[in-house]
């Protein structure tokens, strides 16, 4: 009851349970072969399961530190934009015009997108800090 499972996340109950502090074990189950109908497992379920796996990985690894995700994406984009602009600046000092070069605008775009990713990570960090104060937890045993 303390697990929040939605969508197709029931496939990952052991991982989600372990993250909440529960002990997880495997039990042998006898499966009977299908007698009627045919399997509904197809490519759509594969893609759906893949996205659910990405959701679980995100929730288990980065739920408390979203800036790590957005920073890992935003920092390289920001650095690439700065490298492009540095290259163009060196060229400008050597007398090469940069006014009508698309690379100039690409560099500026990458810098802005990188800053936006990092800013989004900071906002998400503030939001998760507000939620972490109210996080629910379970007590396994009480010692008196």
Q: Are 78 and 115 contacting, i.e. CB atoms less than 8 angstroms apart?
A: yes
Tokens of 27: 């039990």
More confident residue, 119 or 130: 119
Query: What's the pLDDT tens digit per position in 47-90?
Result: 877 887 887 788 777 777 888 889 999 999 999 999 999 999 99
Q: How far apart are CA 27 and CA 21, in angstroms?
A: 19
More confident position, 63 or 3: 63
Helix axes 66-93, 102-132, angle to 10 degrees: 160
Two tokens, residue 109: 């775009």
- By CB atoms closer than 10 A (0-12, 13-18, 19+), residue 125 is middle
Residue among 98, 100, 70 nearest 84 (CA): 98
113: pLDDT confidence band, cut at 50, 70 and 90?
very high
Q: Give me the helix-helix angle, 43-62 and 66-93, nearest 10°.
A: 90
């Amino acid at each position: 009851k303390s697990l929040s499972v939605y969508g197709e996340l029931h496939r990952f109950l052991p991982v989600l349970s372990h993250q909440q502090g529960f002990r997880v074990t495997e039990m042998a189950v006898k499966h009977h072969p299908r007698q009627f109908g045919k399997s509904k497992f197809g490519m759509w379920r594969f893609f759906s399961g893949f996205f659910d796996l990405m959701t679980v990985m995100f929730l288990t690894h980065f739920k408390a530190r979203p800036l790590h995700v957005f920073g890992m994406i935003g920092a390289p984009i920001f650095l690439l934009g700065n490298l492009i602009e540095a290259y163009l600046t060196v060229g400008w000092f050597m007398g090469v015009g940069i006014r009508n070069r698309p690379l100039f605008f690409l560099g500026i775009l990458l810098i802005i997108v990188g800053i936006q990713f990092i800013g989004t990570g900071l906002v998400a960090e503030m939001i998760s800090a507000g939620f972490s104060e109210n996080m629910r937890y379970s007590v396994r045993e009480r010692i008196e």
